[in-house]
Structure 1
Amino acid sequence: MVIFLIVSFLLFVTWTVINSFFMPSLPVNPSLSKQPLVSILVPLRNEEGNVEGLINSLKQLTYPNLEVFLLDDHSTDQTYDLLVEHTKELTHFHVIEGAPLPPTWVGKVFGCHQLSQLASGDYLLFIDADARLEKATIEATLSLARQQDAALVTGFPRFPTKSFLGNLLVPMQHFVVYFHLPLMMANYTKKSAFTAAHGAFMFFEKNSYRRINGHFSVKSSLVEDVEITKLIKKENMQAVLANVTEYVSCYMYDISKDVWHGFTKNIFPGLGRSYPLAISVVIFYAIFYVFPIFLSVYGVLSMQWLFVLPLILSVLQRLWIDRKAQQRLPLFLYMPFSAISLIIILIASMLKNLSKKGYQWKGRNYS
């Protein structure tokens, strides 16, 4: 068993390193011959803690041809008032009050749909309220989109984490992408089966977005980012999953409670609500990323150091990914406990789906 795990991890590490080279990065020194209008579109619901940081981030963007639409989705806190206050002297910023949520729509998706109807840009950038952009983000993204002739550029941001559960789970998004998604197939073919996306950063060419009927086409999806990316590929257009961590950060989930609800809402639906697939994931992570903890304890107590090697290799695999994702390096040492947390929250998400009670998020219930 130990030899099997060691050989497996040597293959895992090799695969992860090779796979990572098929994810392009946003260019460090982008240059553009043309500067088309870009619309930045942000839906917000109960985001009063993020308003100031979001506006400050958008104000310092250096791209000269921008319009910004901020939609308040019936917040019950001070989100709308703060948006108005912080943008009152910014002529290219527009604050919108959202319409009532229709039946069958997911709240964020309806917010994005309304924003898309207002946008005049040749490119549409949808971001979350907890996203923060570096000054040259638009130039870099537009440059890559043109290099790749992409209808969509998306990517998983850098994730500064604060809470205990956030430290364990949020960086695992990068791990799943770099390890489980064949990035050559995702970025260099139009096969929709090989798709990942992150809703905090979705940069569309306008005509391509309209061609798939935009967010209307995924109005009931809890994982609209992935579903809309699949539609792009099914229409034989290019979707690029890029390493955007040099330019984009996302401060997901301030507290562990929000981490729990957010991941519970997304993880099982993100697996297509497939129980066989979810159970396979649980077994896989239990064998390869939890069991080595017990092996290493036995190895230390018995002074048989070969038994510690699977755990070391699993941590090294995570280290490579965290460096690529610009994650705080001490977090790679949490890998076994991240795996345990992933298993627990996936089981909880499956049970929530079985209960038919739906998933709760920002005061709304979704089945």
Structure 2
Amino acid sequence: MIIVALIILLSLLVIWTWINRLFMPRLPQPIRNLPHDKEVTILVPLRNEERNVVDLLTSLQALTYKNLSFVFLDDHSKDKTYSLLKHHSKKLKQVEIICGKPLPKGWVGKVHACHQLGQRATGDYFLFIDADIRLEPNTIEQALTLMNTEQVGLLSGFPRFPTTTWLSQLLVPMQHVVVLLHLPLFKANRTIEPAFTAAHGAFMLFTKETYEQVGGHKTVKSSLVEDVHITRAVKQIGKKACLANVTDSVTCQMYETNREVWKGFSKNIFPGLGRSIPLVVFLTIFYLAVFVAPLPLAMYGLVKGSILFIIPLLLTWLVRLIIDVFTRQDRFLWLLMPFAALALLATMYYSMYLGLKGKGFEWKGRRYT
């Protein structure tokens, strides 16, 4: 019976999700008397980020690690980003603000900005963060402790995502769902196999040696999903990378409007799938069967008074609840899982349409094909 098979599949997904999360380490408490002799350079590209500058700098000023330097790059902003940076960064020590060079042909804007930042970094570690990132005071100590424990060349993690708009509540938390559901984290964090890779570009901490050996962001100059591709490159040179649960220490307010959510996800999904139509078809069937179908089945079960048809929705919610609790997501969004899956599929198909029709992907006033 199909309903029984669906219940078995969802039960296996519950078990898989529960086990898989165990291989994503949280940022630990820093080791006692952690030396501060290693310099960490924090590198931030900014383009039209006036709404984030003040809160970003306030967050960075509160960091407790002693040996920090900062480089900010204003990437041809048309708002007050640069003036706000100049005014509010005075409390930071070892700070440099640079203006980005014109975007060369064949480069993605953010990648080119990060490339320029990497050239100005002076530390033993390079931490690339986005302007919408907020760090807890001891984040650097925690990250260095985990890097040293795991002996990795790159540490990344998906932040906690506060959400405000209805589309962000549906789509943004699905980043955690996709990783914990589809990526075997034992393989991702315990091997150097490039196929098992995920990263989040808003929080990327490299050792200087690793960043330089991999060729920096120049290696992935044309990538719209540079975070994943540079992590694969790290593994290809024999270095380990760690995808950590950083949600206790790193927060990201990704989008403020539904339009930004739609454009941001449309830019990343199809390129992130390797522009693979078969993979799009598989994910469509999988998400419709596992996360969407349980809702009408439960409604049918309520009408007919059959608990058997309600169980799939309960299991779907349980999968999502495990992930949301683990990643400190906003309360009760797990109840929206069927609608979140539909929204993700809709965005995926729009992203595929843009890619196949050659219309390109637009972000921050630039268009990429």
Give, in whole Å, the separation in 2 of the partners of 1:277 and 1:147: 36
Aligned to 2:11: 10
Instruction: Classify the secondary structure of the residue corresponding to 2:145.
Output: helix
What is the CA distance between 1:34 and its match in structure 2?
4.7
C-alpha contact (below 8 Å) 1:319/1:329 kept by paired residues: no
1:280 aligns with 2:264: no
C-alpha contact (below 8 Å) 2:26/2:244 kept by paired residues: yes
Give, in whole Å, the separation in 1 of the partners of 2:92 and 2:328: 32
TM-score scaled by length of structure 1: 0.99
Map 1:249-264 → 2, pairs under 5 A: 249-264=251-266
Give, in whole Å, the separation in 2 of the partners of 1:366 and 1:254: 22
Identical residues among aligned pairs (%)? 53
2:90 aligned residue (66, 88, 91): 88
Question: Once structures 1 and 2 are overlaid, which stretch shifts more, 246-255 or 23-32?
Answer: 23-32
Aligned to 1:33: 35
Map 1:172-183 → 2, pairs under 5 A: 172-183=174-185
Map 1:17-56 → 2, pairs under 5 A: 17-31=18-32, 32-56=34-58
Q: 1:89 to 1:33 in 2, by over 3 A?
A: closer
Instruction: Classify the secondary structure of the residue corresponding to 1:333.
Output: helix
Map 1:122-141 → 2, pairs under 5 A: 122-141=124-143
Give, in whole Å, the separation in 1 of the partners of 2:150 and 2:136: 22
Give, in whole Å, the separation in 2 of the partners of 1:14 and 1:89: 49
AA in 1 matched with 2:125 = Y
Give, in whole Å, the separation in 2 of the partners of 1:252 and 1:358: 21
AA in 1 matched with 2:220 = V
C-alpha contact (below 8 Å) 2:24/2:185 kept by paired residues: yes
Map 1:143-154 → 2, pairs under 5 A: 143-154=145-156
Give, in whole Å, the separation in 2 of the partners of 1:183 and 1:24: 10
TM-score scaled by length of structure 2: 0.98
Aligned to 2:157: 155
Aligned to 2:344: 342
AA in 1 matched with 2:357 = S
AA in 2 matched with 1:226 = V
2:223 aligned residue (216, 221, 224): 221
Which aligned segments of 4 or more residues in structure 1 are displaced greater than 4 angstroms?
Answer: none
AA in 2 matched with 1:50 = N
What is the CA distance between 1:30 and its match in structure 2?
3.5
Deviations 1:168-209 (A, max 9, x none): 000000011111100000000110000000000000000111
Aligned to 1:102: 104
Give, in whole Å, the separation in 1 of the partners of 2:91 and 2:341: 47
Deviations 1:5-24 (A, max 9, x none): 11001100001001110111
C-alpha contact (below 8 Å) 2:36/2:66 kept by paired residues: no
C-alpha contact (below 8 Å) 2:36/2:67 kept by paired residues: no
Instruction: Classify the secondary structure of the residue corresponding to 2:23.
Output: coil
What is the CA distance between 1:328 and its match in structure 2?
1.1
AA in 1 matched with 2:19 = I
Deviations 1:191-234 (A, max 9, x none): 00000000000000001110010100000000000000000101
Question: Once structures 1 and 2 are overlaid, which stretch shifts more, 26-35 or 348-357?
Answer: 26-35
Give, in whole Å, the separation in 1 of the partners of 2:109 and 2:31: 35
AA in 1 matched with 2:175 = Q
AA in 2 matched with 1:185 = K
Instruction: Classify the secondary structure of the residue corresponding to 2:131.
Output: coil
Give, in whole Å, the separation in 2 of the partners of 1:324 and 1:91: 35
Give, in whole Å, the separation in 1 of the partners of 2:31 and 2:75: 34
1:210 aligns with 2:212: yes
Instruction: Classify the secondary structure of the residue corresponding to 1:208.
Output: helix
Give, in whole Å, the separation in 1 of the partners of 2:159 and 2:91: 29
Equivalent pairs counted in the alignment come to 367
Give, in whole Å, the separation in 1 of the partners of 2:272 and 2:226: 10
Give, in whole Å, the separation in 2 of the partners of 1:240 and 1:89: 32
Give, in whole Å, the separation in 2 of the partners of 1:91 and 1:242: 28
AA in 2 matched with 1:301 = V
2:168 aligned residue (146, 166, 170): 166
Instruction: Classify the secondary structure of the residue corresponding to 1:105.
Output: coil
Deviations 1:82-137 (A, max 9, x none): 11111134332221111111110000000000001101000000000000000000
C-alpha contact (below 8 Å) 2:39/2:68 kept by paired residues: yes
C-alpha contact (below 8 Å) 1:52/1:86 kept by paired residues: yes
Aligned to 1:61: 63
Instruction: Classify the secondary structure of the residue corresponding to 1:260.
Output: helix
Map 1:237-256 → 2, pairs under 5 A: 237-256=239-258
AA in 2 matched with 1:341 = A
Map 1:302-313 → 2, pairs under 5 A: 302-313=304-315
What is the CA distance between 1:25 and its match in structure 2?
1.0
AA in 1 matched with 2:135 = L
